[in-house]
Amino acid sequence: MDKTLVIMAAGMGSRYGGLKQLEPVGPDGSLIIDYSIYDAKRAGFNKVVFIIKKEIEQQFYEAIGKRIEKHIKVEYVFQELDAIPKGFSIPKDRVKPWGTGQAILECKNVINEPFLVINADDFYGKDAYQAMADWIELEKPDKTKPYKISMAGYILKNTLSDTGHVARGVCEVNEDGFLTDINERLKVQKKQGQTKFAIEDDTWVDVDENSFVSMNMWGLGAHMPKEIESRFQNFLENEVPKNPLKAEFLLPNIIRDILHEKLCTVKVVPTNERWFGVTYKEDKESVISAIKQKIELGEYPAILWG
């Protein structure tokens, strides 16, 4: 069964300070994206779609695409601020694109098969890719309602940064392993030995470190970009006027809305993999160390594409 990996790489990494997608972390100069594609390919994915900004197309191609296209079919889509329906205008002083929901919408003309969505700067681990590939093969998600969606369920304590706070979608899951709700926590970190999240007045609240969280690894059917399209117009009409410079059309929120409307089921596919990422510049060395250890354990070759 054909399966596509969609990599969201349009973010410029404001907290990190530059194009963190292009930072080498492997001993052979491989990037986190290389390891993601390597893991997906050996789990049976046969195409990758990169979502990037047009302005970095050449730089991205030279650093990643030219190398990757030798090993797997590659397509590109561009996430841009001006990619909005007729009748809408960009708010004055708005500079950032509209969020991960818009990113997936831009894939509507290149995806005709079930797909897996990931972030470009997150290291998910090979077992997560295999588990999600197995779910796609078993469930064969399509346009039949209720839609079948899956989410890789990471344990919160396995996804924290030693450097600073992270944003996590903390999940509520029923006894059958299906998602019932997801709550975006924009600041989660360890404080005084306890995992906490911050609310608006910067009050810190305890959160169960064994909770399932979303790392934006979603298994979706080919119809989903079209489902998102009508919701994007509603977002532009109703949410942007409230917060014209910062309102974001986020994939987890879209899936939560579809779930609450009883238009889908979301299977939480558990993984014990430990997440690694470069949210902050200081995270890079810990990622390099973790990959080195995995190579020593035989999970990856020292020369990834050799």
Tens-digit pLDDT profile for residues 208-228: 999 999 999 999 999 999 999
Give all domains of the chain, ordered by start, each with its CATH number: 4-296 (3.90.550.10)
Whether 184 contacts 178, CB under 8 Å = no
Of 17 and 9, the one with more pLDDT: 9
15 has pLDDT over 60: no
Query: What pLDDT sits at residue 144?
Result: 94
Average pLDDT over residues 166-173: 91
Whether 100 contacts 250, CB under 8 Å = yes
DSSP string, 199-263: -TTS-EEE--TTSEEEEEEEEE-TTHHHHHHHHHHHHHHHTGGGSTTT----HHHHHHHHHHTTS
Cβ-Cβ contacts under 8 Å for 184 (sequence gap 6 or more):
167, 168, 169, 170, 250, 252, 253
Cβ-Cβ contacts under 8 Å for 265 (sequence gap 6 or more):
146, 147, 148, 149, 178, 259
Average pLDDT over residues 54-68: 89
| pLDDT-based confidence at residue 164 (cuts at 50, 70, 90) | confident
Query: What pLDDT sits at residue 23?
Result: 81
CA distance 222 to 256: 18
